Amino acid sequence: MMGTIRFWVAVAVVAAGATPVAGQSAEPGAYLGYNGIAHVGAGGWVRHVPFGSGEGKMREVADRLYGDPETFTNRECGAGPIDFAAYANGLALHFQDGVLVGWSANAPDMTTLDGIGV
């Protein structure tokens, strides 16, 4: 439940119009977003993986960054079964019917591209 609360906090903060600091560049890694996950590469490029993207695409990025996750399924969700990929760094990705539908983060180093922690 706490991850869901953090997700909605992130949506509210990002939707409120937070903007990056001029000249600030993100370190390579995954960043949380209101519409999915942003993957920043070593060269500074950004690849957005929006909600609705295939599980394989998102898992490829996250597994490369964070290693193999613990995976499990919640079959009791009213909307249908939800699959989770929980990484050791505190990031958990949520998939339903093979697509990315959410994330939760329980790690102080997980932020948005704007540096907002959740």
* Spans of all domains in the chain: 1-11+54-109
Q: CA dihedral in degrees (89, 3, 32, 91; nearest 10)?
A: 20
State how far the alpha carbon of 101 is from the alpha carbons of 27, 45, 58, in Å. Answer: 25, 24, 11
**Structure tokens of 51?**
């909600």
- pLDDT of residue 13 exceeding 50: no
Nearest CA-CA partner of 51 in 39, 74, 34, 71: 34
Q: pLDDT tier at 117 (50, 70, 90 boundaries)? A: confident
- On average, the pLDDT of the chain sits at 80
This prediction's pTM: 0.74
The string of pLDDT tens digits covering residues 69-106 is 999 999 998 889 999 999 999 999 999 999 999 999 98
What pLDDT shows up at residue 75? 94
Q: b vs e for 72-81, b when ≥16 Cβ sit within 10 Å of the residue's Cβ?
A: eeeeeeeeee
The string of pLDDT tens digits covering residues 14-33 is 333 333 333 446 788 889 99
State how far the alpha carbon of 85 is from the alpha carbons of 12, 38, 62, 76, 81, in Å. Answer: 24, 17, 9, 17, 13
